[in-house]
Structures are given as structure tokens and as C-alpha cells.
Amino acid sequence: MSKQFDVIVIGAGPGGYIAAIRAAQLGFNVACIDEWKNAAGGAAPGGTCTNVGCIPSKALLQSSEHFEHANLHFADHGISTGKVEMDVAKMIARKDAVVKQNNDGILYLFKKNKVTFFHGRGSFVKAVEGGYEIKVAGKEEEVLTGKQIVVATGSNARALPGVPFDEELNILSNDGALRLGKAPKKLALIGAGVIGLEMGSVWRRLGTEVIVLEGMDKFLPAVDEQIAKEAKKAFDKQGLKIELGVKIGEVKSGKKGVSIAYTNAKGEAQALEADKLIISIGRTANTAGLNAEAVGLALDERGCIVVDDDCKTSLPGVWAVGDVVRGPMLAHKAEEEAVAVAERIAGQHGHVNFGTIPWVIYTSPEIAWVGRTEQQLKEQGVKYKAGSFPFLANGRARALGDTTGMVKFLADAETDEILGVHMVGPMVSELISEAVVAMEFKASSEDIARICHAHPSLSEATKEAALAVDKRTLNF
């Protein structure tokens, strides 16, 4: 006899585990299924984000940034260190420990909120009266029955056609990139997006020659053009080599490394030899093994689960959130959808505003933004005002020794409502939250300009950029 639940969540990434916890808080009997395993074969909830994405990459970025500061910047502060070396194995071990802390934290939260966790692969069996049968294929096979099903199975790294990931030898996704045992002498990356820039930054800091090949003619086209140019200038200065407008040809992997044939932006044939290749050209929805066809769950041409604005699928009582549906593949977007779905199941009115979802690239300088870019406003014919303020004129940034970048505001020309805020510089991943709050409450740039900000703080650059919309900065 199958075990009965009000809500069954398939997947325990940021969307899945949050959906399970919120549903349990609302009084439902909840099960959550996830197959991710740690090195010992135990449960490792948290999905790509916790295991091979957001969390481990930030751990490596932090370690490599400490190493670069010790090598290049400590002397500016009067700190003498002698020769500084990086123990890559220890850096990777610390990253693994951080990941495990997060895995264990999610398991604790399940226990605290009385969510029943099943370790294995969840898939549809059939529709039954009042719900669906879900099979759990783990150490022992189990069948569960749920009235409401939430699919949160995430996404997988997209491979180049004909170039499969080997993850251990030469050709790596984000997974293999986080498990390198030593710093390669020469590292190639295909794709100058978030993963490419963050992983490239980690290994460049450790002494690796890094070459990034990007098919787009523009650097970070989704980012405000002025901010992207400022970031590119900083990366060029650091020695991160980025080639734009390339077309990838044959990729060969061998005992000595990998060779990549490509044509550059001028149409000239090029050949690149590297020790390792990281491919970061996007991600695809993870629906393999879900057995969607058994119940008639509709997928689109890209393999994503088809949902409406409320994350309802083509089937009654079945919902889907996160990377497996339309919209940006961001952990915090998945979390917001997860909470909204749990509340909708409870008859409440969950809400997600795609227009105020922040984006962050955790390089140095960091890049963060929310709302529309200047190029989007021009394309849409929206009349706007712009104001910016450089960290070069910010006292806290000078004290930190990091004055790269700026904060930029875009506001409606008539109403002064904030339409977008764009940042590149130190710790802007934290500063962007003020802009998100302001936009969610439909604030004007004048509202931010009139709010008292602590001195000295990086957040003063946000206030000054808001003042700049009306051409009245006080410190620049």
C-alpha cells in the first residue's frame, strides 16, 4: 500500500526544498524526493545550487580572492607575508565541507518542519483518484500517492554537440570545474556568462592562463552596456582573456589536454591548446526520468515543463517551479515560485514579480542589477533619466582599496519611478537589495536620494547615484 501525502515535491533544490517547507508550514502532510548523493552515497539535498553551483563556486571564489589579496594587495596595507602558496586540495576540501554543511542544514529543516524525505529518483506512475502515484527509485523502491505534486527537478549543463562532458579528464561542466585537483597551466572556457566568468576568475587568481571564448559579439549582452564595458575593462586588466564573436569548430580531447579549433570575430581560423576545457553555454531543463509521458505532462520545444503564470502545469494538481520551467534559471527565482505555489495550494495568493528579480555575477568586481537596462528602455521607446556615481569617489571603497566600478540609476523621465539599477564594484551583490526593495514598492529615485545612508559605507554610492538622476551629487 502506498504512503499518502497531501503534497509531494520532486526535487530538493532551492525550489523543491523551499516548496516542501512552506507547504508543511501551511499545515500539509508533505513528502520531498531527491536523488542527489554525496561522495559516501548519502543524501545531499540542495540540488545543483548547493552541490555543484552557487554555494561551492562562492566558496572557491572566496578562497581564491583571499589568495590574490595576500599575493598582490597585503603589502599595500603594510602586511608582509613572504611567499604565499595555495594548497588546492585543501581549498577543494573546504568547499566540500561548506557544501556538506548546507546539505545537512536542509535535512535538519525537513526534520524541524516534519517534511518526510525520500532519497531516490522520483517519477510519475499514473493518475489515481484524487491525485497521482509517484515512484521513488532508491535503495528500496517505494510508491507514494499525493493529492498535489510540485515538480522542481532543476536543470543540467548544456554540452556542445558531439562534445560530451567527461568531468574528470579534460572536458568539464560546472561540476567538473569545481573538482579540479590542481590549477591547470592553461584553461579554456567556452561561454562568457556567469559560470565562465566566475570559474575563470577562480583559476586565474591561482596562476592559470585563462582564455574565454564567447560566441556573442557583445560582452554580457543582458547587462547594462555601460556596466558591461566597465566590467570588461576590469577583467582585461586582471589578465582574463576574453574573445568575443567566435565560432567553435572541432574540439579534440587527448592525453595531453584539449584542442579547440575556432574562427575569431574577423573570420580567421584559430587553434587553441589547453590543459582543460570548461563548457558553460547554458543549461537545459531536467525532465529525463520523470516519466512525464505516463500522465500526459506537457513539455515545450526546449524540454521545459509548460506552466501558466501561476506555475500550474497542463495537469490538475500538478505544479512546476525553478529551472525546469520558463524564466530565468536563478536559485532565488525558484525559491520565490516555490513559496508562491505552496501558498496557492493552500488557497492563498502567492506572488512573484519577475520585474524585480535581482541578478548577480560574483566576480571581482561583482556585477549586479535589477529591472531594465538602458538599451532596453531605448528599444521600448521609454523616456528616462539616468544617474551614476563611481566608487572612486566613495570613502569606504577607498579604505577597502577597491574603487572599481559604479552604481547607475534609471528612472522614468516624468514620474521618476525607478526602472532599473545597475552596479559593478565591491560587494554590489549586497547593495542591490536596496534597489529591489525600492522597485518593489515603486519608489522614485528621489526617495532613495532622501534616505539617510550610513557613512562611511558603500551604500552611499547608491544614494549618490540616485542624486545624480537629478544632477545633484554631493561627492562627485
User: Count of residues for the chain?
Assistant: 476
Residue 154 backbone class (left: φ over 0; alpha: ψ -120 to 50; beta: rest)? left
Omega before 456 within 30 of 0, i.e. cis: yes
The grid coordinates of residue 255 equal 592525453
Predicted pLDDT of residue 168: 87
Burial class (CB in 10 A: 0-12, 13-18, 19+), 380: exposed
Residue ranges for the chain with pLDDT beneath 70: none
Q: CA-to-CA distance for 374 and 232, rounded, in angstroms?
A: 18
* DSSP labels, 425-450: ETTHHHHHHHHHHHHHTT-BHHHHHH
Measured between alpha carbons, how far is residue 413 from residues 435, 450, 466 in Å?
Answer: 18, 18, 13
Choose among 121, 59, 167, 469: nearest CA to 287. Answer: 121
Burial 142-177 (b: 16+ CB within 10 A, else e): bebbbbbbbbbbbbbbeebeebebeeeebbbbbbbb
Strands 257-263 and 247-254: antiparallel
Can you tell me which residue has the cell 559605507? Answer: 457
Q: Determine the pLDDT at residue 282.
A: 96
Among the listed residues 342, 375, 344, 340, the one whose alpha carbon sits nearest the alpha carbon of residue 357: 340
Q: Is 137 helix (H, G, I), strand (E, B) or coil?
A: strand
Residue 379: Cβ within 10 Å count: 10
Asked if residue 421 lies in contact with residue 435, where contact means CB atoms within 8 angstroms, the answer is yes
For residue 7, give the nearest of 168, 144, 158 by alpha carbon.
144
Q: List, as one string, the DSSP characters of 205-253.
A: HTT-EEEEE-SSSSSSTTS-HHHHHHHHHHHHHHT-EEE-S-EEEEEEE
311, with CB counted inside 10 A (0-12, 13-18, 19+), is: buried
pTM more than 0.85:
yes
Q: What is the pLDDT of residue 296?
A: 97
Neighbouring C-beta atoms of residue 257, cutoff 10 Å: 18
Give catalytic residues, as residue numbers.
455
Q: What is the pLDDT of residue 358?
A: 98
Measure the CA–CA gap between 188 and 307, rounded to whole angstroms.
37
pLDDT at 2: 85
Query: Which residues lie closer than 8 Å to 193 by C-beta, 6 or more apart?
Result: 220, 280, 281, 282
Give the residue from 32, 34, 52, 31 showing the smallest Cα distance to 43.
34
The answer to whether 138 touches 120, Cβ cutoff 8 Å, is yes
What's the confidence (pLDDT) of residue 122?
98
The pLDDT assigned to 98 comes to 98
Q: Residues of 412-438 as b/e, b for ≥16 C-beta within 10 angstroms?
A: beeebebbbbbbbbbbbbebbebbbeb
Q: Are 303 and 284 in contact (CB under 8 A)?
A: yes
State how beta strands 209-213 and 186-190 pair.
Answer: parallel
The C-alpha cell at 401 is: 582599496
Q: In what order do the strands lie in the sheet with 359-361?
A: 359-361, 366-371, 418-425, 406-412, 384-390
- In angstroms, rounded to a whole number, what is the distance separating the alpha carbons of residues 213 and 270? 11
